[in-house]
């Protein structure tokens, strides 16, 4: 009976959420918003009054599985080495952001609540942002590797680590436990994190190697799930959250060569369960509290967003991040996190907060989550507008004064490379080998410091700022190459650079085909979509394998690249058929190799005597002898043992030629010379 109730509840939830998500998708509203709205509808003050759902607890368990799998796959894509490179973002900016938020919220809350511990605890609740929502949206928008994406992820990781001391401090602040017990539990948590991370180098890769050797996909998937839920369970036993344990499990596997296979195996499970998590978050919202206290809830929402934005922005500026990056990252984090709900439940059970504070916090938190997709969609536009204001531009100049002194004083006809990822590094290597002048602009401080030690002309700065481009000599530059993964910044750089130098040749890289026309209109001379260039490389090699002439392949590639890859971006089929017709004909023409052995009847015979073209229809186009190629051999050329003969023609002609060359010597000689 219980199973039927569960299946009924699950079917109702999936049906309603599917309808809501589909309806909102038609007006281009993100699916996360749809799941949250569906959760609100299915919550205690929505359709739940109709008694449609009778097994909410099991649904919430599935939702917890969803967030575990979501954080696990994010850990798989992140890698431990990348995590260690982000020490400043995680512990520096993240630590400062949490500290500023807790202090500011505690100070303001202390004006309304009498207990200081309660005020500090409210600061704990507000300090955390939604790892699940922000990372999912950054991943969907391919912005995890952008400057604002890296900073956002770093802060989110530190906030998740803070769950451990926050949870352990609740009984201490409520007066139920002493400081000694808190420190002991915190030490245990630190030890278990260290053990999990150290296993990434020795234990897990060897385990997965043994599993892969069995060639059993079922066993591999089961092992991955065991590692995911097992590590999450172990960390939970030591006071950490299940989701943080799942993220650490993903980091562990990401260091092995089986990370991609693990990701593909988990994705179906993740996508099936993560929607339930966002639905369960929406269910927490008490709509009656919002209706009865609209002014209070809206004030809380506005206050939370402003305080989260301010604390994040201030922490990034203090640690010398670019103004534009700081604004965009701060907007990404201007919501309350899902783990704050866990803290809130523990807080009300310990008596740290009242039910009124609990319901007000939950209502405001869900609304901030609901607004997050819209804020992140407009974050680039807002960051561009705000960073162009006089006050913030002056702040940027003051912050970067010491760095500007390192910029080159005189440079002409050089190439400016913005972004020093893989593409930027390859371009710099080629320019250096060709002895052509160039300068690099990069927003990653660690990359700038490291590459300067290797002698690269690399400088720290934001390419969207006019002053930075002038320092790099944009007015006298010959070429500008934009090799960053931030679409909005790429557009701003193209627009700014074109205004500063009308004669500049601008090449922009993009991951999105939709960006091509916009970048060309803004002033880019060439826009290179990564996926199309990969397609060109693939079909060029395929055509070459079909013996299509090289000049035809090059002509076709040039045609594809004309007008910003319009041929590949057209949805309707083109009527152009010459290349296909040639491919159909030439695919029947092949090249075959034939080795002349010691006892072959053609040894010592000349091509003229063989009359192979007259006899078979095939043609000898080349002969390789002692590692030397003789192309278009003359009729008097005599064959020797060991020669490698290249024969071309239709397949049936070549088959006749191979039989003919293997026939007796008398049948060849009796016809005489041609």
Tokens at residue 446, please? 């660690």
Domains, in order of start, for the chain: 2-390 (1.20.1530.20), 400-524 (3.40.50.720), 532-586 (no CATH), 589-669 (3.30.70.1450)
Q: pLDDT grade, residue 331 (50/70/90)?
A: very high
pLDDT for position 517:
81
C-alpha dist (Å) from residue 297 to 301, 341, 566: 6, 17, 50
CA dihedral over 287, 292, 293, 298, signed as positive or negative: positive
pLDDT per residue as tens digits for the range 226-280 = 888 888 888 777 766 677 778 778 877 877 777 777 777 777 776 666 677 778 7
pLDDT for position 77:
66
Tokens at residue 309, please? 């934005």
- What secondary structure does DSSP assign to 215-234, as a single string? T-HHHHHHHHHHHHHHHHHH
Indicate the range of 47-61, 94-108, 640-654 predicted with least confidence.
Answer: 47-61
Residues 594/661, Cβ–Cβ less than 8 Å: yes
Indicate the range of 171-180, 388-397, 557-566 predicted with least confidence.
Answer: 557-566
Mean pLDDT of 595-611: 86
How many angstroms separate the CA atoms of 399 and 320, rounded?
7
Indicate the range of 286-295, 296-305, 423-432 predicted with least confidence.
Answer: 286-295
Share of the chain above pLDDT 90, in %: 12
Mean pLDDT of 319-323: 81
CB atoms within 10 A of CB 265: 17
Residue 497 has pLDDT above 70, yes or no: yes
Mean confidence (pLDDT) of the chain: 79
pLDDT per residue as tens digits for the range 566-588 = 655 554 444 444 444 444 444 55
The DSSP 8-state label assigned to residue 639 in this structure reads P
Backbone angles phi, psi at 479, to 5 degrees: -135, 140
358 versus 65: which is more confidently predicted? 358
pLDDT for position 670:
43
Indicate the range of 71-85, 119-133, 597-611 predicted with least confidence.
Answer: 71-85
Q: pTM score, two decimals? A: 0.66
C-alpha dist (Å) from residue 2 to 15, 17, 63, 445: 20, 23, 18, 57
Angle value at C-alpha 482, between 537 and 378, nearest 5 degrees:
110
How many angstroms separate the CA atoms of 461 and 321, rounded?
9
- What secondary structure does DSSP assign to 579-608, as a single string? HHHHHHHHTTEEEEEEE--TT-TTTT-BHH
Q: Which residues contact 513 (CB under 8 A, 6 or more apart)?
A: 529, 531, 532, 565, 569
């Amino acid at each position: 009976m219980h199973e039927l109730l569960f299946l009924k509840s699950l079917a109702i939830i999936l049906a309603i959420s599917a309808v809501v998500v589909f309806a909102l998708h038609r007006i281009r509203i993100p699916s996360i918003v749809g799941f949250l709205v569906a959760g609100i509808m299915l919550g205690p003050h929505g359709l739940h009054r109709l008694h449609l759902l009778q097994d909410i607890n099991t649904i919430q368990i599935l939702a917890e599985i969803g967030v575990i799998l979501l954080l696990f796959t994010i850990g798989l894509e992140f890698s431990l080495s990348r995590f260690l490179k982000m020490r400043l973002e995680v512990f520096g900016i993240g630590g400062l952001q949490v500290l500023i938020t807790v202090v500011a919220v505690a100070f303001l809350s202390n004006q309304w609540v009498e207990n200081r511990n309660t005020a500090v605890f409210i600061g704990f609740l507000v300090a955390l942002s939604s790892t699940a929502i922000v990372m999912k949206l950054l991943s969907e928008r391919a912005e995890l590797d952008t400057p604002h994406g890296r900073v956002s992820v770093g802060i989110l990781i530190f906030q998740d680590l803070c769950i451990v001391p926050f949870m352990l401090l609740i009984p201490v602040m409520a007066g139920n436990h002493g400081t000694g017990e808190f420190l002991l539990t915190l030490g245990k948590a630190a030890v278990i994190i260290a053990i999990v991370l150290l296993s990434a180098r020795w234990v897990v890769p060897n385990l997965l190697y043994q599993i892969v050797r069995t060639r059993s996909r079922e066993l591999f998937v089961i092992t991955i799930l065991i590692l995911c839920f097992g590590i999450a369970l172990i960390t939970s036993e030591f006071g950490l959250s299940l989701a943080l344990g799942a993220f650490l499990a993903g980091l562990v596997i990401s260091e092995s060569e089986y990370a991609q296979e693990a990701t593909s195996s988990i994705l179906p499970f993740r996508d099936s369960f993560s929607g339930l998590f966002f639905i369960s978050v929406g269910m927490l919202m008490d709509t009656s509290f919002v209706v009865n206290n609209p002014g209070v809830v809206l004030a809380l929402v506005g206050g939370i967003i402003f305080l989260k934005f301010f604390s994040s922005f201030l922490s990034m500026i203090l640690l010398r991040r670019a103004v534009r990056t700081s604004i965009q990252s701060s907007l990404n984090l201007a919501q309350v996190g899902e783990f704050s709900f866990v803290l809130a439940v523990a807080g009300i059970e310990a008596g740290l907060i009242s039910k009124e504070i609990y319901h007000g916090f939950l209502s405001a938190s869900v609304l901030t989550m609901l607004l997050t997709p819209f804020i992140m969609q407009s974050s680039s536009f807002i960051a561009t507008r705000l960073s162009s204001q006089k006050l913030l531009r002056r702040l940027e100049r003051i912050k970067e004064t010491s760095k500007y002194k390192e910029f080159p004083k005189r440079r002409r006809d050089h190439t400016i490379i913005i972004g020093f990822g893989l593409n930027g590094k390859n371009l710099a290597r080629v320019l250096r080998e060709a002895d052509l002048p160039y300068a690099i602009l990069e927003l990653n401080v660690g990359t700038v410091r490291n590459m300067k030690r290797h002698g690269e002309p690399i400088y720290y700065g934001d390419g969207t700022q006019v002053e930075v481009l002038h320092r790099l000599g944009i007015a006298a530059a010959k070429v500008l190459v934009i090799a960053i993964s931030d679409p909005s910044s790429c557009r701003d750089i193209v627009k700014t650079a074109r205004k500063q130098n009308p004669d500049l040749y601008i090449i922009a890289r993009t991951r999105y085909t939709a960006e091509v026309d916009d970048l060309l209109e803004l002033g880019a001379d060439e826009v290179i979509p990564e996926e199309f260039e990969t397609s060109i490389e693939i079909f060029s090699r395929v055509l070459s394998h079909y013996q299509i002439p090289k000049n035809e392949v090059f002509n076709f590639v040039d045609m594809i690249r004309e007008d910003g890859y319009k041929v590949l971006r057209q949805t309707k089929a083109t009527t152009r058929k010459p290349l296909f017709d040639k491919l159909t004909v030439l695919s029947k023409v092949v090249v075959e190799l034939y080795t002349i052995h010691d006892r072959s009847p053609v040894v010592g015979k000349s091509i003229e005597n063989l009359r192979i073209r007259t006899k078979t229809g095939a043609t000898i186009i080349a002969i390789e002898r002692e590692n030397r190629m003789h192309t278009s051999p003359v009729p008097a050329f005599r064959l020797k043992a060991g020669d490698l003969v290249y024969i071309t023609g239709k397949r049936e002609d070549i088959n006749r030629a191979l039989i003919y060359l293997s026939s007796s010597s008398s049948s060849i000689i009796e016809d005489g010379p041609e």
